[in-house]
Amino acid sequence: MTEMKYTILTRQITAWMLMSLFIAEPAAIFATDAPISSDSKAPAAHQPLVQQTSNGIPLVQITAPTASGVSRNLYTDFNVPEKGAVLNNAHKVTNTQLAGYVQANPNLGRGTAKLIVNEVTGTNKTAMKGFLEVAGDRAGVIVANPNGIAVNGGGFLNTSRAMLTTGRPRYAENGDVASLQVADGTIQVEGKGLDALETDQVDMLARAVQINAGVWAKEVHVVTGRNEVTYGSLEIAPAASEEDGVRTVPKVALDVAALGGMYANRIYLVGTEKGLGVNVSGMMSASQSFALETNGDLHITRTGTAYSEDALNLHTTGTVTNEQTLASRGEAVIQADSGMVNTGVVGAGVSRDGKVQQKGNLTVKTTTLQNDKAQVVSGGSLDVQAQTISNREGEISAQGDAAVQSAQTMDMEKGKVSAKGNLTIQSDALSLHGVIASGGEATITTHQSLSNDHSAENMGTVMADGNLTLHTDGTLTNSRKIESGKTLTVEAGQGIHNTATGEMNGQDVSQQTTTLDNTGLINGTQHISVTAENIVNHENGRIYGDDVTLRADRLENRRQAELEEKLAAAMKTLTEKEKALEAAYAADVTKYTSSTQEAQYKAAIASADKAYEAQLAVVNSVRAELEEHKAGTIAARNLLTVQAKSIENRHNAMLYSGGDMQLTAADTLTNQGASIESMGNLTIQAGQIRNENDAFAAKRVSSEWVDNPEKIRIDQAGHPEQGESFDRSEFSNLSSGYRAYHHPKAMPTYAPAYDTVEAPEPGETADPDHPVGSLIANYEWNDPIFQTFGLTPMVTSRPDTVGDAQRAWDSQFQTLLNQLDEKITAYNAQAEKHNAALGLTDTQKINNYTIIRSHSQTSHEEVQSTNAGIIRSGQAMNLDGAVYNDNSQITAGSTLIASGTVVNTSKENQERTVTFGTTQGSYTYKLHWPHKARVRGYNLEVFMTPQVELSNTSSLAVGAYADHGTVPARQDITETARNKVSSYLDPFSLDTKNPEWTPSSWQITAANLTSSLYTLHPETTAKYLVETDPAFTNKRNFLSSDYMYQQMQ
């Protein structure tokens, strides 16, 4: 017993000695300026003992904890000085970082606290200028002051969880802290900030929080607003809207100033009060996760940053405004219920230096996303959902897949949307005035019209390495490039307008629409498929592909519709003028009885000719206007297939195939002044096949009036030549009153126009060019005999190159020879008869004769304007339908089969010679007595009945309808010639270095190279005289990821 008392006494002495070491005089403890003052009015169980260590640090002997370990301490003031303060949770002597050794807390006889609650009941704010250390066992700490808390250099030591709150703790029946009820108050972090790195978690619960200095922690939870917050889970229940004693509503819930910041592994920010948002002008950085939810706006200023090394999760019922950086290295989910305005960088997979190098996914959900001159980027996948999106000069991009959805509008003016993976864009209304690019597949869907027709330079492009699908319920207007490395699919409910600068390229191209209006380029390295109600390809419109398939109700391939209509109207008027001129020439002059009528005839011709020339000038002017526009071209490298109700190919437009061509028109195929050319077989099925010349005009032209040699018509009764007329030079004694005599001259005879080649005589060598039995001409093309017999000779020599021009020349020369042969045969018969009667009339006297004085004019047709329709095939041609070939050309390199009626209309030339003159009768008579002499008398000169002679009927050689067996008529076309036909059709074979291309043949060929498939370069510095469109000849891969992304930089 004595030993026990001694032991107790020893302990007491030791305790008092330690107290003398660490505790100052009690008077100092209870001074009015003490930083921590216990509430003397509180229940004794909740009144802590506040003491001071020898080094001047407040030491709080916390109250005895509950059975669950909660120590509740009430204070009138609770301030932590710069030196710090100690909450004594030690049940034995313990060494501290701030005060050295402290004695055991006598209140902890039943055990230490797990949670130390420090409640301020007074009216003053709490100032934390130093660290608050828990002595002894590690415990959680709550500092609760409804008046507010200001931290300037504060922190926590030996604290498992720290909470700063302006709320009032609510306790469960067992004494545990159930919740914190926040009605008002602000937590401010200033100056030296808050260091909570030694605690696992720091919580700040207040109506508003101001961060004007740094906050360092492992895990930070900030809950703002008038709430009741569960202590354990931080579950939030908003408080009632009205409460007594509430001060002025703060402007924002959380304000992180430029000098402020949060640096933690994990940051969780929740603001519940409606309308109170978050301002971030400093740094908020989480090395792991970052979550923010606010019932107001989030504003990250130009000096602010919200960044997470791992995940970022943000939700605000207000607007998110980011002027600097809102990003994460890992995944990021951002939801802004009232809109998002970004002028900085919003991203996931973003490293601290701002580079997108990680694979973080980014999700953005908002009502209105404004990303003008800003970036929304993701190192992984990207999902953007909004009602409206403005991406003017902005960038929305992902290194993985990307999905961008806008329920209303998406403005892409100079903006970029890209994905290295697949890309999906959905919007009710979308402008294509920026760049859309995908390294994989891309799908763009919109309900309203799509357009990039006013895009800036290098903007307005849509590109995908994989398949690219564009769908719009409206109209697609393309003035830039839409390209796919694989299949380009375009579906437009109200039409596709591909303008002059527009390109649609792909390996395969598929288009479905109501109307395709193409003045640009649609190019497929393999297949082209277009299905539409109307396809209009004009104004240099080009559709190229290996295999091209077009399906439409109506296909129009033309030059320029308005000018074509203008030309048609001008041609109609010119035809009327031509008919009027022809009618003037064709007047029945044989009924004329006076020179007055002759003068009227000449005046009518002059007037009609003047009117014709005036209208021809109008036609030429319109044609010159048309020449300023290039025609449309639809060309297939292998196979061209067209299925339509009607096909119209007009004014130098071209339908071309390097292989076979199949054209099917349920109603009519019209090829008017244009070309349909197939290097292989050509099949046309149509109700009517109309091959027309849309600018054909001919005019009757005439020579000057020529005075003919005087003729004498023998009127002497009984004379064997009575009624015949001869040159005056063949007569003698024409002035004699007794007799005149006719002395006819021998008439020469001529060889026939051509002979039949006979077998060679012994010793003669056969001519391989003229086999036995064939016909050979006896006269050259320009022999004077043609003019001798009143025929117009050929204008040029025979073309050297086998082709349409040579065959047309042969046909015309053959007709001319036939006409010459007929005239020679008739003349020779007359000459032989005449020559047989020589000498029989020399002694036959002539008293009565008539002097014929006349002048003549010969007229013929000449082509003034032409633009023939051309239908050609390198091999066989099959025409299934009624064929109308009007002054145009249909030629086949092999057989030509027409299963329907064929009507060839070719303008013929008819020479017309009109002769006007006078006649004067002459007779002899006796003079009256006493004279017996006979003298010659003359009647008055009278108007001669005009004469009209029609001769030299021939073709103007504008039209042609032939296969290899009929042109030229003399011989079959050789295989070499057939190859030349194919070569002529082949745009790849137009080689001016080929010696067979002579200047004359080249001019004939070049006249047909008027479609957009060819460009003529007559300049001497040009590398090629004719250049085939490289878009047709060059098969290329349009895109690669490297190329595409280089273009996007």
pLDDT tens by residue, 746-761: 777 777 877 765 556 5
DSSP state of 846: B
**Measured torsion, CA atoms of residues 429, 435, 438, 443, in degrees rounded to the nearest 10:** 20
DSSP calls for 135-175: EES-EEEEEE-TT-EEESSEEEESEEEEEEESSEEEE-TTS
List C-alpha distances in Å: 744 to 375, 810, 837, 920: 109, 40, 9, 22
Is residue 1033 very low, low, confident or very high in pLDDT (cuts 50, 70, 90)?
A: low
Q: How far apart are CA 755 and CA 886, in angstroms?
A: 34
Strand-strand pairing, 168-171 and 177-181: antiparallel
The residues near 1 (Cβ < 8 Å, ≥ 6 apart) are none
* Contact (CB, 8 A) for 553 and 640: no
Per-residue pLDDT, 474: 96
Is residue 970 very low, low, confident or very high in pLDDT (cuts 50, 70, 90)?
A: very low
Mean of the pLDDT values across residues 330-337? Answer: 96
Q: What angle do CA 198, 201, 203 make, to 5 degrees?
A: 120
* Contact (CB, 8 A) for 121 and 98: no
pLDDT tens by residue, 284-319: 999 999 999 999 999 999 999 999 999 999 999 999
Q: How far apart are CA 239 and CA 708, in angstroms?
A: 126
Mean of the pLDDT values across residues 581-592? Answer: 95
Per-residue pLDDT, 207: 96
Q: How far apart are CA 1003 and CA 1009, in angstroms?
A: 10
Per-residue pLDDT, 908: 83
Whether residue 974 has pLDDT greater than 80: no
List C-alpha distances in Å: 370 to 332, 336, 367: 18, 12, 10
Look up residue 788 and give its two tokens: 């001798």
Is residue 481 very low, low, confident or very high in pLDDT (cuts 50, 70, 90)?
A: very high
Buried/exposed code over 198-216 (b: 16+ C-beta within 10 A; e: otherwise): bbebbbbbbbbbbbbbbbb
Mean of the pLDDT values across residues 663-691? Answer: 97
Give the mean pLDDT of the chain: 86
Name the residue with tokens 């703790």.
Answer: 169
Nearest to 923 by CA among 911, 945, 909, 939: 939
Mean of the pLDDT values across residues 812-822? Answer: 86
* Contact (CB, 8 A) for 116 and 71: yes
3-class state of residue 485 by DSSP: coil
Buried/exposed code over 621-635 (b: 16+ C-beta within 10 A; e: otherwise): ebbeebeebbbbbbb
Is residue 1029 very low, low, confident or very high in pLDDT (cuts 50, 70, 90)?
A: low
Mean of the pLDDT values across residues 842-862? Answer: 90
DSSP calls for 732-756: E-TT-SS-BEE-PPPPP----SEEE
pTM summary value: 0.76
Q: How far apart are CA 398 and CA 327, in angstroms?
A: 14
Comparison of pLDDT for 155 and 720, the residue scoring more? 155
* Contact (CB, 8 A) for 143 and 163: yes
List C-alpha distances in Å: 161 to 133, 214, 232: 12, 19, 11
Q: How far apart are CA 985 and CA 964, in angstroms?
A: 15
3-class state of residue 279 by DSSP: strand
Whether residue 330 has pLDDT greater than 90: yes
3-class state of residue 407 by DSSP: strand
Per-residue pLDDT, 813: 85
Per-residue pLDDT, 769: 53
Look up residue 623 and give its two tokens: 């044609």
List C-alpha distances in Å: 926 to 610, 737, 938, 939, 1016: 56, 8, 14, 16, 83
pLDDT tens by residue, 77-122: 999 999 999 999 999 999 999 999 999 999 999 999 999 999 999 9
Q: How far apart are CA 377 and CA 395, in angstroms?
A: 7
The residues near 688 (Cβ < 8 Å, ≥ 6 apart) are 667, 668, 669, 881, 882, 884
Per-residue pLDDT, 8: 35
Mean of the pLDDT values across residues 659-665? Answer: 98
* Contact (CB, 8 A) for 53 and 35: no
Is residue 824 very low, low, confident or very high in pLDDT (cuts 50, 70, 90)?
A: confident
Whether residue 515 has pLDDT greater than 80: yes
Whether residue 910 has pLDDT greater than 60: yes
Comparison of pLDDT for 595 and 843, the residue scoring more? 595
Strand-strand pairing, 697-702 and 468-472: unpaired
pLDDT tens by residue, 167-180: 999 999 999 999 99
Per-residue pLDDT, 608: 96
453: left (phi over 0), alpha (psi -120 to 50) or beta: alpha
- Rg, the chain, Cα only: 55
Q: How many CA atoms lie within 13 A of 1022 on its CB side?
A: 11
Whether residue 1036 has pLDDT greater than 50: no
pLDDT tens by residue, 917-949: 999 999 988 877 666 678 889 999 999 999 999
